Structures are given as structure tokens and as C-alpha cells.
Amino acid sequence: MRAVVLRRHGPAEILSLESVPDPTTGSEQVLVAVEAIGLNFAEVLSRKGLYGWSPDLPYVLGMEAVGVIEEIGDRVEGREIGERVLVASQFGSYAEKIAVAASSALPALDSYTPEENAAFGVNYMTAWVSLLEMARMRHTDRVLVSAAAGGVGTAAVQIASSFGCEVVALASSDAKLQLARNLGATDAVCYGNIGFPDQLLDTVGSRGIDVALETVGGHVFKACADCLAPFGRIVVAGYAELDYKLWNPISLWRAWRGMPRMSMESMYKGSKGLLSTHLGYLVPYPEIVRPVWDRLTTFVEEHKIRPIVGHVFQLADVAEAHQLMESRGSMGKIVMRV
Ligand SMILES: NC(=O)c1ccc[n+]([C@@H]2O[C@H](COP(=O)([O-])OP(=O)(O)OC[C@H]3O[C@@H](n4cnc5c(N)ncnc54)[C@H](OP(=O)(O)O)[C@@H]3O)[C@@H](O)[C@H]2O)c1
């Protein structure tokens, strides 16, 4: 099969397709013929050697895809050849085939195109887990979402606004904020402007924010944390802005300074909380994750939410797709067709 094998860390240009043997199907696995792949910011970090959850080199890059079951391990029950599934994995999805634990292959959504299915799993689960499972969002909450035009961000804006919440979107450009408004955000503030964070404080006023989903870090995290109302909860699901290089101690120090953190004193004085999640570390708990997935899929189907597929590439153009995400130029999800 053809696959993108990460043999060393480096810039996007190191990525290309090569021929490798097909994966073998373990007894508790299914083998999936991949149709479309969702690109995640974590894969940009993995490529650079900056992602703690990555396996050792070399490995096939990629954490999610949609495809059709082609083979079923002999200890797997209740699955069918030809079933369309979403797969989540620590690695292996930038390929024509991937073998995953049967519990990590979830039924694709019938009403979605392959591209929409590829754009759904990781982003919507991250948004849902952050807002509903961690922050316990309520209909009356006012919700703040950073990087609101990105993969996780668009999912969070759609979910929170469909839930009935007032949503304040943050992003780095006016075009991105317009997308967030189109998806239901009631207010939008650009953190690329000189007036930030004052503009944000003016927008939220004394009412403040009840729930924030933050994925940028640095000054954006600080501004979001400063807006929290009493009983406010901020969930950190990433820190994309922190630019560190393994071999550069100054960049490591800058990144350490920009890491989201909150003192116990500021939490008790403000009656507010800092929470965090990482889907990868939930993989060993399918019995906990599956009911969450079922609640999420029921919700998006009831509210007719469709993932925002912003850019579609061929898998052979993987380097270009990575460059787009790294350049901060993407809106919605980047998907690669196989
Ligand atoms: N915890 C989890 O389980 C989990 C799962 C999935 C994703 N995540 C995290 O959620 C965030 C979004 O992930 P995603 O895959 O949906 O990506 P994405 O939002 O589509 O793209 C990343 C976004 O981050 C913002 N950003 C800020 N600083 C950046 C920088 N220096 N370089 C590039 N982008 C920068 C950009 O939006 P602006 O230009 O508007 O700032 C960019 O569009 C990431 O931090 C990721 O690590 C966490």
C-alpha cells in the first residue's frame, strides 16, 4: 500500500508517499480501507518531534480517517465487512489501509460525506468532551472559544450555540471570525489586533464568561482566564501558539512561560477552575468513551450539525496540507482524499 512514513522529524517538505507492506490484522482488530483522512494540529507537532503522545520513529503518521472494513480479526464480534467506520489511532492513518482495535472503529455517520466523516471524530469529540463532560456546560452559560475557525473551534462554536449558549469567538483574523459568526457565535474578537485583550474585556463586560475552551496558550489563555465569572471553568485542550524547538533552550523557556497555568490562590479567590483533556489518553477506556460518543452523535444528528470541511487535498499532497495548517491559513478542517 501507499503511506506517509515519518522517518525523521522536520519541516513539511519531508513528507511524501512511499510503498510499504499492508498492515496485518490482529485478532482483536479490523483492517480498514481508508477513503479520507482528517488532518490534526497534533500531526504537525508530531512531524516536528514535539508531541508527547507520538510513538518512536519510524511510523506512519496520522490519527484519524474514515473508510470501509476489509478484514476482521478472529476474536472480533459484531462487525461486518463493508461497514463504513471512523477510526482513531495514535498513528497510521496517512495510508491506504490501517489496522485498529475494533473498539477504535466507530460507525460512520450515514448522513455525512466521506470528507465530513473524516472531519468529525477528533474535533467534535474534543469539543464535546471539553464543553459537556469536563466543563459541564449549561444552556444558560456564556461560552468563549479560541481558534474558533479551526477544526476543534468550529466544532465547539456549533455545539455550544446549538446547545443554546451565547458564544464569544476568538481568532486571529476577521475572515476567521466571520466564519465563527456564520456558525452561531454572537460576539467575535480578534486576538491579532493591537487592542487585544482590552477589546475582549469590553465585549464580555462585568457578566464575564462561564465556560472557555482554550487551545492557543500564551497571552490568549491569560486573557480567557481573566474573563472568567465566578464558577467559571476554562478547559485547556492545546496550546498551538507556543513555538518551541527541542534544541533551543530560549524557545523552551518562552514556551514554559506561555504554558497555561492558574494559581490555587486565583482559583479560590475567583471561584473558578482550570481543567484539561487529551483524547489520546482516553483510548484505554472504551466503556467510558462509547457513551460519550453516542451522546455526541445523537446531538449533532438532532441539531443537523455538519462538520466544516475547509480544504480538501489528495494524500500525495500531504506536504502542502501540513504547510497550510502550520501557516495558520486553514479554516475548518483539512481533509486528504486517498
Ligand atoms: N486535547 C485533545 O484531545 C485535542 C484534540 C484535538 C486537537 N487539540 C488541540 O486543539 C487545537 C486545535 O487543533 P486542530 O487540529 O483543530 O487545529 P486547527 O484549529 O484547525 O488549527 C490550529 C489553529 O490554532 C491557531 N494557532 C495559534 N497559534 C498558532 C501557530 N503558531 N501555528 C498554527 N496555528 C496556530 C490557529 O487559529 P488562529 O489563527 O485563529 O489563532 C490555527 O488555525 C490544537 O491546539 C490541538 O493541539 C487537542
Task: Please tell me the predicted confidence (pLDDT) of residue 248.
Answer: 84
pLDDT at 249: 85
State the burial class of residue 9 (Cβ atoms within 10 Å of its Cβ: 0-12, 13-18, 19+): middle
Q: What is the secondary structure of 98-124 as a DSSP string?
A: EEEEGGGEEEPPTTS-HHHHHTTHHHH
Please indicate, yes or no, whether residues 164 and 95 belong to a single structural domain of this protein: no
Q: Domain span at residue 275?
A: 122-280
The verdict on 194 and 90 lying in the same domain is no
**Separation of alpha carbons 159 and 155, rounded Å:** 6
Mean pLDDT computed over every residue of the chain: 96
Residues 112, 197, single domain; the answer is: no
Number of domains in the chain: 2
Q: Is any ligand 1 atom within 6 A of the Cβ of residue 122?
A: yes
Per-residue pLDDT at 194 = 87
DSSP state of 95: B
**Centre of ligand 1 from the C-alpha of residue 149, in Å:** 9
C-alpha 277/C-alpha 282 separation (Å) is 9
Q: What is the pLDDT of residues 233-247, one digit of tens each?
A: 999 999 999 988 877
* Spatial CA neighbour of 163 closest among 136, 189, 134, 126: 136
- Which CATH number goes with the domain that contains 184? 3.40.50.720
Q: Is residue 295 part of a domain?
A: no
Percent of the chain with pLDDT over 70: 100
Q: Please tell me whether residues 65 and 205 are part of one structural domain.
A: no
User: Can you tell me the mean pLDDT for 208-221?
Assistant: 97
111 lies in the same domain as 151: no
- Are 160 and 273 members of one domain? yes
48 band by pLDDT with thresholds 50, 70 and 90:
very high
232 lines ligand 1 (CB under 6 A): no
Pocket perturbation via mutation, ligand 1, pick of 215, 293, 296 by most ligand atoms within 8 A of CB:
215
Alpha carbon distance 201, 269 (integer Å): 19
**Which residue's CA lies nearest to atom 25 of ligand 1?**
147
Residue 251 reports pLDDT greater than 90: no
Distance from residue 19's CA to the centre of ligand 1 (Å): 30
For 253-271, what is the mean pLDDT? Answer: 94
Within a domain: 302: no
Cell 493591537 sits on residue: 194
Q: 129 and 238 share a domain?
A: yes
Quick one: pLDDT at residue 161?
98
CA 297 to ligand 1 center in whole angstroms: 23
Q: Which atom of ligand 1 is nearest to the CA of 334?
A: 20
114, 140: one domain: no
How far does residue 170's CA lie from ligand 1's centre (Å)?
A: 12
Q: Is any ligand 1 atom within 6 A of the Cβ of residue 143?
A: no
Same domain, 94 and 150: no
154 in ligand 1 pocket by Cβ < 6 Å?
A: no
In a domain, 292, yes or no: no
Q: How is 276-304 classified by DSSP, letter by letter?
A: E--GGGGTT-HHHHHHHHHHHHHHHHHTT
**Across 163-181, average pLDDT:** 98
DSSP output for 73-94: -TT--S--TT-EEEEE-SS--S
* CA nearest ligand 1 atom 19, residue: 150
Q: Is the beta carbon of 152 within 6 A of some atom in ligand 1?
A: yes
Q: Measured from the CB, is residue 123 less than 6 Å from ligand 1?
A: yes
